[in-house]
Amino acid sequence: MTEVRDNVKSHSYNLPDLGSSEILRYSRHLILPEVGLDGQKKLKAARVLVVGAGGLGSPLALYLAAAGVGTLGLVDFDVVDLTNLQRQVLHGTKDVGRSKLQSAIDRLRDVNPHVAVEPFEVRLTSDNALEIVEAFDVVVDGTDNFATRYLVNDACVLTDRPNVYGSIFRFEGQASVFATPDGPCYRCLFREPPPPGLVPSCAEGGVLGVLPGLIGTIQATEAIKLVLGIGEPLIGRLLLVDALRMQIRTVRLRRDPECPACGTREIRALIDYEEFCGLRRAAADELTAPVVRVITPLELAAKRARGDDFDLIDVREPHEYEIARLEGARLIPLASLGATVPTLNRDREIIVHCKTGARSAAAVRELQAAGFRNVWNLAGGIAGWSEEVDPAVPRY
Amino acid sequence: MPITITLPNVLCRLANGQQTLEASGTTLGDAVADVSGRYPSLKPRLVDDAGNPYPFVTYYLNDEDIRFSGGFAAAISDGDEVTIVPAVAGG
């Protein structure tokens, strides 16, 4: 903890003064003895980096800005999409189609004009991460994939910056503080990521909109505590939130002496994180796998208009079928496809679809392996159909 | 009294919707094997082909990481609580 404080102090040995409008703005902080005038000045002097301006990044950026963190770095290269607004409260309906960073800058300027936002409109990579991370006192991980999480962790370990971690899926979230001088790091918790495809993303598996609000505000709390040097940070503890049962518990984390990042220190430079997460291997496997023939939504529309005879199979889940469906499609969720194969006619032309084309590609492969020859994958899935053929079919 | 194993929400559907399972045995490995035997579709999400824990799923025995207390060989006793925490990356 002391070194975390020193990290901040190294930038703040000459703490900045607060103007009279700042004193009024932060009055509820100033009357907390644990914060006080010095604490608020520490916040003003602090530089906090938020990686990701999405679900977790939204409450993080809003609360850190409101709290008066002087410099807020934001890393994101994405554009605001309508499907983000169910949870990404940093952005509004008017921002759909804008860069997330531009949207964030406007919103944060309104929340607190005393905060300087340093935007990094780039993908965080092994080439730029150390330089970006090193320029800040505290790093907050609001990313949405394993490769970037290991990258953020290693960059924090290598630069001695605390990593305020948060992660969510469906109804459950996790939070901790990694990479402090004596505490564990993300690699001590999970030595390796799961193979690609095993754990669905929030886009595939869904997430309760308020969950990133719960976890992101916990991360913001921890970041502020680290800057102020107060309380007991989540170092060596993993906070587990189950929003469905509304149970919150902590389990104990230990630094792994064999951790290649913070234990043996064999990781001395940033590595290729896509390789580490198996993404390159997965892409190579994709290239060498049997060819999945695709049909575009427009070609499928033309076949229908001609009255061609074929079977259309939807391999999504029943609750997705409820949201939107293609007329005449037979619902066979991917997990039950194998059991249904005997009921399918292998002499007929079969077109398979899902939401965006990934699950249906797996289904086509499964049918090909079962001896089906005339099987096609609908490119872009029902989402592609909605975009290219019939916007009346809802996108979700 | 057996021990209890708490699953993450995402795995409940593989155990007939139950989040907390009772299990018995003398080691944690016994208890996981007991549960895996009763819910075969849950098994590949709990252990690898060799029956070992995955590096991306962490087991806590009474809130302590089992990797530092003998792994699956750790002794269990009545009333112990096991929590299974998988790696998730959403943000």
**How sure is the predictor about A128, in pLDDT bands with cuts at 50, 70 and 90?**
very high
What mean pLDDT comes out for the span A301-327?
95
**How sure is the predictor about A280, in pLDDT bands with cuts at 50, 70 and 90?**
confident
The full set of domain ranges for chain B reads: 3-86
Whether A70 and A212 share a structural domain: yes
pLDDT on residue A146: 95
Q: Is residue A394 part of a domain?
A: no
Q: Is residue A396 part of a domain?
A: no
A156 part of the active site = no
Of A283, A318, A343, the residue at which a domain comes to its end is A283
Is residue A8 over pLDDT 70? no
Of A241, A261, A283, the residue at which a domain comes to its end is A283
Closest residue of chain A to B91, computed from CA coordinates: A144
At A2 the three-state DSSP class reads: helix
Whether A332 and A219 share a structural domain: no
Q: What pTM did the predictor assign?
A: 0.87
Q: Average pLDDT, whole number, for chain A? A: 93
With CB atoms and an 8 Å threshold, state whether A202 touches B83. no
pLDDT on residue A99: 98
With CB atoms and an 8 Å threshold, state whether B91 touches A144. yes
Contact A151, A269 (CB under 8 A): no
Q: Give, in degrees to the nearest 5, the angle at Cα A262 between A258 and A263.
A: 25
Nearest neighbour of B9 by CB, restricted to A166, A171, A202: A171
Of A283, A304, A320, the residue at which a domain comes to its end is A283
Residue indicated by tokens 């892409």: A283
**How sure is the predictor about A163, in pLDDT bands with cuts at 50, 70 and 90?**
very high
Whether A107 and A187 share a structural domain: yes
Q: Which range, of A49-58, A129-138, A332-341, averages the lowest pLDDT?
A: A332-341
Interface of A with B in 13-32 (CB under 8 A): none
Whether A126 and A241 share a structural domain: yes
Contact A113, A126 (CB under 8 A): no
Whether A372 and A268 share a structural domain: no
- DSSP one-letter string for B15-73: GTT-SEEEE--SBHHHHHHHHHHH-TTTHHHHB-TTSPBPTTEEEEETTEEGGGTTGGG
pLDDT on residue A9: 47
Domain enclosing residue A379, as ranges: 291-388
From the centroid of its chain, how far is CA A8? 27
From the centroid of its chain, how far is CA B8? 10
Is residue A7 over pLDDT 70? no
- DSSP one-letter string for A270-282: ---HHHHTTHHHH
Q: Between A and B, how many CB-CB pairs are < 8 A?
A: 91
Query: What CATH number is associated with residue A350?
Result: 3.40.250.10
Q: How far is B89 from chain A (nearest CA, A)?
A: 5
At the topology level, CATH places domain B3-86 in Ubiquitin-like (UB roll) (3.10.20)
pLDDT tens-place string over residues B47-65: 999 999 999 999 999 999 9
Whether A177 and A253 share a structural domain: yes
What mean pLDDT comes out for the span B59-73?
95
pLDDT on residue A262: 97
Whether A34 and A12 share a structural domain: yes
Active-site residue, from A156, A202, A262, A277 = A202
What mean pLDDT comes out for the span A205-231?
97
pLDDT on residue A290: 73
Residue indicated by tokens 């080439």: A127
Instruction: Indicate the number of domains in chain A.
Output: 2
**How sure is the predictor about A12, in pLDDT bands with cuts at 50, 70 and 90?**
very low
Whether A157 and A220 share a structural domain: yes
Is residue B2 over pLDDT 80? yes
pLDDT on residue A10: 45
pLDDT on residue A281: 74
Whether A175 and A244 share a structural domain: yes
Closest residue of chain B to A145, computed from CA coordinates: B89
pLDDT on residue A380: 95
Whether A88 and A180 share a structural domain: yes
Closest residue of chain B to A148, computed from CA coordinates: B89
* Chain B residues close to A166, C-beta within 8 Å: 91
Percent of chain A residues past pLDDT 70, beyond the cut? 96
What mean pLDDT comes out for the span A216-233?
98
Q: What is the ipTM of this complex?
A: 0.95
Span between the terminal Cα atoms of chain A, in Å? 44
Whether A198 and A82 share a structural domain: yes
Taking phi first (over 0 means left), then psi (-120 to 50 degrees means alpha), and beta for anything else, what does residue A357 get?
Answer: left
Choose, out of A86, A90, A164, A191, the residue to mutate when testing the contact with B (most B CBs < 10 Å). A191
Of A115, A178, A183, the closest CA to residue A149 belongs to A178
B41 inside 8 A of chain A by CB: no
At A288 the three-state DSSP class reads: helix
Span between the terminal Cα atoms of chain B, in Å? 39
**How sure is the predictor about A286, in pLDDT bands with cuts at 50, 70 and 90?**
low
Is residue A388 over pLDDT 70? yes
Is residue A260 over pLDDT 80? yes
Q: Take residue A217 and report the two structure tokens written for it.
A: 């505000």
Q: Is residue A393 part of a domain?
A: no
Whether A188 and A211 share a structural domain: yes
Q: Is residue A395 part of a domain?
A: no
pLDDT on residue A116: 98
pLDDT tens-place string over residues A45-58: 999 999 999 999 99
**How sure is the predictor about B8, in pLDDT bands with cuts at 50, 70 and 90?**
very high
A53: DSSP letter? S
Q: Is residue A174 part of a domain?
A: yes
Q: How far is A69 from chain B (nearest CA, A)?
A: 22
Query: Whole-angstrom Cα distance, residue A347 to residue A83?
Result: 40
pLDDT tens-place string over residues B75-87: 999 999 999 999 9
CB burial of B9-45 (b: ≥16 within 10 Å; e: otherwise) equals ebbbebbeeebebebebeebbbbbbbbbeebeebbeb
**How sure is the predictor about A198, in pLDDT bands with cuts at 50, 70 and 90?**
confident
Closest residue of chain B to A213, computed from CA coordinates: B91
Residue A268 CB partners (closer than 8 Å, separation 6+): A158
Is residue A86 over pLDDT 80? yes
Q: Is residue A175 part of a domain?
A: yes
Contact A109, A83 (CB under 8 A): no
Is residue A291 over pLDDT 90? no
pLDDT tens-place string over residues B14-60: 999 999 999 999 999 999 999 999 999 999 999 999 999 999 999 99
pLDDT on residue A317: 92
**How sure is the predictor about A13, in pLDDT bands with cuts at 50, 70 and 90?**
low
A354 part of the active site = yes
Decide the pairing of beta strands B57-61 and B81-86: antiparallel
